[in-house]
Amino acid sequence: MKITTIILAAGKGTRMCSDIPKVLHKISNRPLLHHVYDMSNQLENNSIKIVVGHAADQVTDALKHFKADWVEQKQQLGTGHAVQQVSDQIADSDTVLILYGDVPLLKLATVKLLINNVNDRSLALLTVDLANPAGYGRIVRDASGQVIKIVEEKDATAIEKQINEVNTGIMAVQGKQLKKWLGSLNNSNVQGEYYLTDIIEMAVGDQVQIITSQPETEDEVLGVNNRIQLSHLERVYQREQAYSLMEQGVTLKDPMRFDQRGTIENLGQDIEIDINVILEGKNSIGNNVKIGANTSIKNSAIGDNVEILANCVIENAVIGQGSRIGPFARLRPESVLANNVHIGNFVEIKKSSIASGSKINHLSYIGDTTMGSNVNIGAGTITCNYDGVNKFRTVIEDGAFIGSDSQLVAPVTIGKNATIGAGSTITKDSPADQLTLSRAKQTSLAGWQRPVKMEK
Ligand code: UD1
Ligand code: CA
């Protein structure tokens, strides 16, 4: 069976009050339309058609990597009109699945059920019972419970408006029949639109049975029309991810205060995550890792037994086993830490590799540096990697000890087991095993007196 999925995404989204087209607004850092695409992309033997209209160029540009055909609906004359734009790309034997680009959390299992309910004698319709059905098309059934039509809110009688079962807009139908019914749509209704929903009555007229199913939860079929609904679905999505992590052996101190905007490639066990942690992009997290509160981690690999204390910002970094980071540390891109490295408070690392057992515990900037093992960097050490035009590297060999408040002016090499005296500005290579220091000689003036306040 071949599937053609049509994703409707031509609408304007006026209530977003935005220059960004609605379907490009994001949940978990991914456009709404991207969620719908990813889900439908998991169906086998499926070709995806996306109907765009409002800000079509912006939408296709942003998502041009999709394996999908973009179909333009120049004027938005209704959902039926939108599907008509794809009509000539549908084969008679196709099962056509219709999705909305602004309904991001629909599940694959729900869609598969719809697809399995379609044949040349049946159409599958996804409905949901809502406590407040206002605004939706209502599902009208006959005395025997068979669906006979959908009536839009604006066209509904007072009695029809009391129906709680509504149309989600999502359906699956055989290609040949869909094309036939699309050809007979008209716009004689209150809104003057071509309603896709009118095909239900036509199907019933052709003795095609309407098979309804419902999603597991209402959230699956909720659309986004404004930013309040967007934030609601963001929280639903985040809660699902949080619960899934807990099911895989992660402790979350508060699943409602956790955000994962991306994927975890390798997930260890007995990971403990405190509140307000944000994981972005592609991360991997080893066993027994502890992540403190208010920390954000992006595109990074964290080894076993690593402890990240509160308030750290970590991006494109590798942290070896048993290392301890923070609190208040920043690991910028291309920071590669081997095992058992300690990075303490108010330390910034950039484009540097740090071998095992080295410690940078307080108030330092280490950039463009190759650091050996068991190095100790004193408080307030700065690698001066930039002369205002070019960047240079600092090399600090194994076992070196850098006294507090030193500046290492790159390019410079600090030899193996070298010691740098506190407060030094090092501009030349410092030999191995020696003490190097550069500071004015300390003097004391014996007869010196403090100034006294002058008489006015
Ligand atoms: C539609 C259904 C209604 C259902 C509701 C569920 C019809 C006539 N009505 O109503 O029964 O309860 O969805 O949310 O189908 N779109 C286009 N081109 C258009 C018009 C719409 O691509 O010309 C797209 C929109 O971008 C959106 C989707 O179709 O993704 C639904 O459009 P919307 O205007 O929200 O439909 P409703 O009138 O709310
Ligand atoms: Ca809508």
**Quick check: helix, strand or coil at residue 370?**
strand
Amino acid occupying residue 222: L
Long-range contacts of 128-135 (CB under 8 A, 24+ apart): 128/165, 128/166, 128/168, 128/214, 128/215, 128/218, 128/221, 129/164, 129/165, 129/166, 129/214, 130/164, 130/166, 130/218, 131/164, 133/161, 133/163, 133/164, 133/165, 133/166
User: In whole angstroms, what is the distance from residue 159 CA to residue 190 CA?
Assistant: 17
- Closest Cα to atom 37 of ligand 1: 136
Q: What is the pLDDT along the chain (456 residues), one digit of tens a residue?
A: 899 999 999 998 999 999 999 999 999 999 999 999 999 999 999 999 999 999 999 999 999 999 999 999 999 999 999 999 999 999 999 999 999 999 999 999 999 999 999 998 999 999 999 999 999 999 999 999 999 999 999 999 999 999 999 999 999 999 999 999 999 999 999 999 999 999 999 999 999 999 999 999 999 999 999 999 999 999 999 999 999 999 999 999 999 999 999 999 999 999 999 999 999 999 999 999 999 999 999 999 999 999 999 999 999 999 999 999 999 999 999 999 999 999 999 999 999 999 999 999 999 999 999 999 999 999 999 999 999 999 999 999 999 999 999 999 999 999 999 999 999 999 999 999 999 999 999 999 999 999 999 998
263 CA to centre of ligand 2 in angstroms: 30
What fold is seen in the domain 227-436?
A: UDP N-Acetylglucosamine Acyltransferase; domain 1 (2.160.10)
Q: Is 104 in the pocket of ligand 1 (CB under 6 A)?
A: no
174 CA to centre of ligand 2 in angstroms: 24
Give the residue numbers annotated as catalytic, written as ranges. 362
Q: Is 79 in the pocket of ligand 1 (CB under 6 A)?
A: yes
Dihedral angle, C-alpha 213, 218, 221, 222, nearest 10 °:
160
Q: Which of 23, 79, 153, 220 to probe ligand 1 with, by most ligand atoms within 8 A of CB?
A: 79
Q: How many CA atoms lie within 13 A of 451 on its CB side?
A: 3
Q: Which residues are annotated as a binding site for UDP-N-acetyl-alpha-D-glucosamine?
A: 8-11, 22, 73, 78-79, 100-102, 137, 152, 167, 225, 332, 350, 365, 376
103 CA to centre of ligand 2 in angstroms: 9
CA 13 to chain centre: 22
Atom of ligand 1 nearest to the CA of 77: 23
Would you kindly state where each structural domain of the chain is located, as residue ranges?
A: 3-221, 227-436
Atom of ligand 1 nearest to the CA of 100: 30
Q: Is 123 in the pocket of ligand 1 (CB under 6 A)?
A: no
What fold is seen in the domain 3-221?
A: Spore Coat Polysaccharide Biosynthesis Protein SpsA; Chain A (3.90.550)
Give the H or E element holding residue 435: strand 435-436
pTM of the model: 0.94
